[in-house]
Amino acid sequence: MANIFISFLGIGKYDKTPGYALAEYVWKEKTAQSITCRFAQTAILAALETSENQNDTVDRAVLFCTRESYKKHLNLLEDEFKKHLKQKPEIIIPDLVPTDMTADNQWGWFEQLLDNVGVGDRLVIDFTHGMRAVPIIFSSAIGFLTRAKEITLNHALYAWYDQNRKDKPHPIVDMKDFYVINDWAESVARLTDDADARKLGEMAKQSQVDALAPLADENLIVAFQEMTDCIRNVDVNNISRKVNDALAYVQNSRTQVGGSARLMLDLVWEKFCALATDYPPSGRYDQPYFETQIKIIEVLMEHRLFMQAFTVMRELVGAIGMAGVGGKYARKEMVSSDGKKYRKRFPEVFVNMMQFPIDKWKFSGLNEDDRLKLMPWFEKLQTAGIEPQLREIVDEIVKIRNGFDHAWTSENAAFPDIENKGKKYLTVLHDIVRQMTKQELFSE
């Protein structure tokens, strides 16, 4: 790993040699000391040299030059380095950059930059004299290198030469935040697309961007992690509560910020608000409970978390069995120890009743007692036309879920077209919940 300074050596004024006039520059974030020189590269490296941050030490300076700028300015630039720098970095000049804007040449600039950066390097990039499309190409390269070679962008600099600043030094401006924002956007995308809060947690620790400070709030990050853990671990009875907790932090932050931070928080809100509830859970297998399970399956399918989605589908079928048990079983809170005991017994029996034809049922002992308890409800679902619909999908839902559970070792390969099957079964389950609602089967 090395600290690399990357810059483009321009021509300046074509009709003058040298093409750059002497100017006073200052990088206030690094030093109060200004420097008078011709080249912004000299001022930047001098400021970095005085920095107390070890990461600002420059090991190599990679200078991109055209044939004209190489001839016109390289010797002058090296002389300035000797005059103003205590320790001149190793200077690397890649192949001279052609000036015509063909697609092949633009890709050539891109590849040259990639070739001069190693895995894990820390970069300082100076865009002051970037020719034509070079800043665009180098900006794209930064994003690519961040992911492909895990580089760290320490600074993205521009020395702002303003002819109207007569008595004040010209400022060196760090635009790093506008590159880091892409990483923040990727982190939010991972959260909303993959239910993965880990990247956002990493960014909160590594990057400090004032405009995005609400996204780095420790309480918000913890809430996101707990929410996504619930989703990915299929903790169906706690997902809504965790989503409510996370969205409460999101809502609070949304009222305090605008701009890019607000936009990213809005994306999170829109993605997960469907899983939130505006009522306290009843602890019963009622309509709101089943509607929430449907929403959870939808989110899991969108995130391509198919194993988890099929797990919730199987649990939902079992919960339909619990919805009709009635008596003390239905009155038990689902989070209580008794509720967990019944939730394990009756749903398993009900799933088996739906999975196998009646003439192949084989229940004994406690399972047979539970089957008898479920029979009135089973018959009611038959009369309502719901039992046949469940029977058509349950066997394959169970087989696919078991295939995931056992890494498909009992099958020659994973079932084909799992995504479309999941969407189909979700539609059927959603229709069943609507029918049960319409026929007031949840009210009993």
* Enclosing domain of residue 63: 3-175
Residues 160 and 187 in one domain: no
The predicted-structure confidence for 321-358, as pLDDT tens digits, reads as follows: 988 886 555 544 444 455 555 567 889 999 999 999 99
> Which amino acid belongs to residue 428?
V
Residues 386 and 421 in one domain: yes
Burial bucket for residue 248 (CB in 10 Å: 0-12, 13-18, 19+): middle
Residues 367 and 329 in one domain: yes
Residues 274 and 289 in one domain: no
Strand 35-37 vs strand 23-26: parallel, antiparallel, or unpaired? antiparallel
CA 34 to chain CA centroid, nearest Å: 41
pTM: 0.62
Number of domain units in the chain: 3
**pLDDT at position 248:** 86
pLDDT in tens, the chain (444 residues): 899 999 988 887 777 777 788 889 999 888 878 889 999 999 999 999 888 787 788 889 998 888 888 888 889 989 999 999 988 888 888 887 776 667 777 787 788 888 889 999 999 999 888 766 777 888 888 888 888 888 888 999 988 887 777 678 889 999 888 877 777 788 888 888 777 888 788 777 776 677 777 777 888 888 888 888 887 777 777 787 888 888 888 888 887 777 778 888 888 888 788 777 665 566 678 888 888 889 889 888 888 888 889 999 999 999 999 888 865 555 444 444 555 555 678 899 999 999 999 999 999 999 999 999 999 999 999 999 999 999 999 999 998 988 887 666 555 556 678 899 999 999 999 999 999 999 988 755
With a CB cutoff of 8 Å and minimum separation 6, the contacts of 256 are 214
> In three state form, how does the secondary structure of 248-301 look?
HHHHHHHCCCCHHHHHHHHHHHHHHHHHCCCCCCCCCCCHHHHHHHHHHHHHHH
CATH number of domain containing 152:
3.40.50.10640
Residues 19 and 54 in one domain: yes
Contact assessment for residue 135 and residue 110, using Cβ atoms and an 8 Å cutoff = no
Given 278, 303, 338, the domain boundary residue is 278
Helix, strand, coil percent values for the chain (each to nearest 5)? 60, 10, 30
Helix (H, G, I), strand (E, B) or coil at 151: coil
> Which amino acid belongs to residue 134?
V
The predicted-structure confidence for 76-128, as pLDDT tens digits, reads as follows: 989 999 999 988 888 888 887 776 667 777 787 788 888 889 999 999 999 88
How many Å apart are CA 434 and CA 437, to the nearest integer?
5
Residues 188 and 118 in one domain: no
Residues 126 and 207 in one domain: no
Contact assessment for residue 59 and residue 188, using Cβ atoms and an 8 Å cutoff = no
Radius of gyration of the chain (CA): 32
Given 123, 158, 175, the domain boundary residue is 175
Residues 123 and 133 in one domain: yes
Residues 298 and 225 in one domain: no
Strand 35-37 vs strand 60-65: parallel, antiparallel, or unpaired? unpaired
Residues 271 and 187 in one domain: yes
Residues 274 and 284 in one domain: no
Residues 271 and 285 in one domain: no
Given 249, 278, 307, the domain boundary residue is 278
Other Cβ atoms within 10 Å of 369 Cβ, number: 13
